[in-house]
Structures are given as structure tokens and as C-alpha cells.
Amino acid sequence: MGKGQKIAVITLVVILIAAIIVAVAMKKQPGIKQAAKVKVTNAPAGQVIGGFPTELLIDASGSADQSYAAAYNNANQYTVKVKSASSEQKVFTDYLAYFNANGYKIVNKNQTDTISNIYATKGTITVNVVITHLKVDNNQTFINITYVK
């Protein structure tokens, strides 16, 4: 094999190795997938969307303000916004007690002067409760409860 043929073979081998490396890298980083379609269904005003577990509405003084469901490819999200006459502290304490008494794991909890939240899980169920108290809006507490299954 002459010197020119050796250079051609080496060049071909280098090109093949480079092509293999590129192919492997592309396989590890798949292209951008199309965004999942989400179907949102709103409940009539003042009602709780079907599928939302009503046992999560633990504030007896509260009333549903808004509610909707969002259906994703592999999960369903149900959300209810509640107006309450209870204090932010009472609502926060009541939800912590409910989650602890009913086998939920508290993943995260936070409490400040203006907003509190609790993120809890139980098996494949995820619940996020966000509590805000607005003195300017008739001194009401707002509870946003999101349930994902």
C-alpha cells in the first residue's frame, strides 16, 4: 500500500469515527419534542370542578371563588381558589394538621407575613396550598389549592 493510499484509509477511518461520535451525541440529546396539549375545563362560578377531592376544602368558612381542571398527557391537575374569613395562620395550621393526620409527606412549607405555602405528597398525589391574606380586599384570606394526580 502506497503512501497516498495509507493517507486515504486514515482519513476515511477518522471521518467514520467522527460520524459515529456525532451520531451517538445526537442520540443522547433528542430533538425538541412538541409541547404537550393541555385541555382546561373551568367550573361554573362558585362551584368546585369535578375530580377535585372535596376533603381538601377543610376551611368551613371558605367558599369556592374559582375552580378548573387541566388535563395533561400523563397527569390531571385540579385547582380551587377559596375565599375565607379565617386568618392565614389558622388556615396554615389546619392544612399542616390535615396533611400530617392523613399520611401526606410535607415536602416543603413556608410562612411569611404575607404568603404561606405547603407542598405535600402522598404516593403519586401532589398537593400545593398557597395562602395569602389581603387586608385591602375585605380583610380576606385566599387559599389556592392545587391537586395533581
CATH number at residue 142: 3.30.310
Residues 84 and 141 in one domain: yes
Residues 75 and 142 in one domain: yes
Residues 20 and 85 in one domain: no
Residues 20 and 88 in one domain: no
Block means of pLDDT (10 residues each) for the chain, 149 residues, are 56 54 55 67 91 90 88 90 90 96 96 90 94 77 92
Q: Residue 81: which domain range?
A: 39-148
How do 115-122 and 105-111 pair as beta strands? antiparallel
Residues 72 and 126 in one domain: yes
Residues 22 and 73 in one domain: no
Residues 13 and 81 in one domain: no
Residues 48 and 25 in one domain: no
Q: What is the DSSP letter of 136?
A: T
Instruction: List strand residue ranges (DSSP E) for the chain, in order.
Output: 39-42, 63-71, 76-84, 105-111, 115-122, 125-134, 140-148
Q: Whole-angstrom Cα distance, residue 69 to residue 72? A: 10
* Number of structural domains found in the chain: 2
Residues 13 and 68 in one domain: no
pTM (2 d.p.): 0.73
Rounded to 5 degrees, what are φ and ψ at 92? -60, -50
Residues 5 and 54 in one domain: no
